[in-house]
Structure 1
């Protein structure tokens, strides 16, 4: 249990600190950062599978056509999620990324109802309504929809939905997801190099080293999460998951000095209330046939 808690805290703490990591490369374009993240993630995960003697099982791990399709869709969706996240962080919308990952668990469970015919308790419906009010408050006050938050929550909920049909361990799944898009990412980086638009090699040496470690920053928290999930009940993992967007929110306010107005407080207040109601309702439904636990588990698998 103690090991599980430490793994969970480590995973969500690392995910919460990612904006600080991507800020190191803010002079690079989001597409270029994404390309390097994909390439180095593929290299690191394949190397990890080789060291753990699991690489030999990579090809045979997928045998059904529907699994291939799900993996390709997952690959494209998570790449889009990573791009939005990196772009948002480096243009100063860190707070909105936090909002997106607060909303994500609720949207994931809603997708379970819409697409997987799962059922929710009244409290969980109330939570979704409260979250919708929170987003609406921000939309009406500022006159624009918080698209970054919505797109992050939407893409990750879709990623979770696609992953429902993939029965692979996290590292094996991540290997396929990065390998599918790695050739595209590599071609993009080479094209930038040929056209003289590549910026990675102009960075200081320590930034280049950190860029090559993007694969570690992507795969390590996923590995820690998998270890935590083996040792802890889903409800406890659910509590710990809110550590990540909370760290990001505090970082946006106190480190990056993004404005946190009264409107933000009201909006986040509705969403925090939604998460309290949602968590309590989910705990009460634990062990019953109406509990949306399978889909909720996907909501806890973070990817930024």
Structure 2
């Protein structure tokens, strides 16, 4: 059991580290238009996922993800959300807005809480509402201080939040569902690259290094998802949630310390508010998880006694 826990934590840390350090990869491809880079990401991800699922004998599961009432529509909506999220993320890194992208992924857990309340009627405690309020104040602070709304962060948080909503309604695992999503998007990706090619754009880059980096978009997308799937089967949701903050933290570090993006007093105030909100949210989640485990143990002992 302990070994499985250790493996799960290691897998989750590795997945979040790849996600968090990915801005450095996309920065190397700043000379490739974001929409073309997204297209490569879709195509090479599909190739990589296809190979993985083929070796596992699970390709038929992709077809099953489209079966059932409204399944195709949900996969299509999930595809739209993740394509929008990935495009904006790539563009934000390429144009020097990685700080905002990290803020978006910090805000995402609180957006997910609000979606859960509005869509599924999940109850929120006062502290959770306070966390959401702090996040809203942080956005207002940045809007007032910088004179413009941090729309990149907000859109990234919303698109990823709704992506999670549509994924929740699919009865397949994360690797299979993402394969189905990129399968739907691949034809559009091919059309985009063909259009760029006819305009004289070297869609595979002008050198071997660029081509290699473009092909690596497949494993860079697929490997952390596979690691996440591995970790999700071995860790409690609370642990997964806490470890997930590694991703935006590394993005933030890349933005400030590697890319030297501006980070002034208004940014600091907003990020401190977000960090406080996430700290309260995490403490509440840990407390709820502890109480739930205690109740489960009590119920188990009661059942054994009877």
**TM-score of the alignment, normalized to the shorter chain, above 0.5:** yes
Q: Give the 3-state SS of the residue equivalent to 1:107 in structure 2.
A: helix
Per-residue Cα deviation, 1:154-178 (whole angstroms, up to 9, x for no partner)? 1000101111210111111011000
Superposition map of 1:21-100 within 5 A = 21-100=25-104
Q: Which moved more, 1:75-84 or 1:231-240?
A: 231-240
**Correspondences of 1:245-264 after superposition (within 5 Å):** 245-264=248-267
Count how many residue pairs are aligned between Structure 1 and Structure 2.
288
- Cα displacement (A) at 1:201: 2.8
Alignment check: 8 A CA contact 2:175 2:229 kept: no
Distance 2:205 2:253 in 1: 32
Rounded Cα–Cα distance in structure 2 between residues aligned with 1:205 and 1:21: 16
* Cα displacement (A) at 1:198: 3.5
SS of 1:65's equivalent? coil
Aligned partners of 1:72 and 1:282: how far apart in 2? 32
Matched residue, 1:124? 128
- CA distance in 2 between counterparts of 1:114 and 1:80 reads 22
Question: Greater CA radius of gyration, 1 or 2?
Answer: 2
- Check the 8 A contact 2:62/2:177 in 1, yes or no: no
| Aligned twin of 2:271 | 268
Counterpart residue number, 1:209: 212
**2:157 paired with 1:148:** no
TM-score (norm 2): 0.91
Higher deviation after alignment, 276-285 or 15-24: 276-285
Q: Which residue of 2 aligns with 1:292?
A: none
Q: What is the rounded CA distance, in whole Å, between the counterparts of 1:188 and 1:251 in structure 2?
A: 30
Distance across 1 between alignment mates of 2:221 and 2:154: 22
1:226 to 229, 236, 256: 229
Q: Closer, same or farther in 2 for the Cα pair 1:197/1:237, shift >3 Å?
A: same
Secondary structure, counterpart of 1:162 in structure 2: helix
CA contact (8 A) 2:65 2:170 kept: no
- Contact 2:81/2:162 (<8 A) preserved: yes
CA RMSD of aligned residues (A): 1.3
After the TM superposition, list the runs of 4 or more consecutive aligned residues in structure 1 that deviate by more than 4 angstroms. none
Other-structure match for 1:293 = none
CA shift in 2, pair 1:193/1:114, >3 Å: same
The equivalent residue for 2:201 is: 197
Residue 300 (structure 2) aligns with: none
**Structure 1, 259-268 or 61-70: larger mean CA deviation:** 61-70
Q: Are the structure 2 counterparts of residues 162 and 252 from structure 1 closer, same or farther at C-alpha, using a change threshold of 3 Å?
A: same
Where does residue 238 of structure 1 map in the other structure? Answer: 241
Residue 225 of structure 1 and its aligned partner are, at CA, apart by 0.6
Tell me which of 16, 25, 45 is aligned to 1:12.
Answer: 16
Could you state the TM-score of these two structures normalised by the residue count of structure 1?
0.92
Q: Distance in 2 between the 1:68 and 1:277 partners?
A: 38
Q: Which runs of 5+ in 1 are unaligned?
A: 290-304
Deviation at 1:287, TM superposition (A): 7.3
Cα distance in 2 for partners of 1:287, 1:115 equals 26
Aligned-pair distance for 1:75?
Answer: 0.5
> 2:100, 2:239 → 1: CA distance?
25
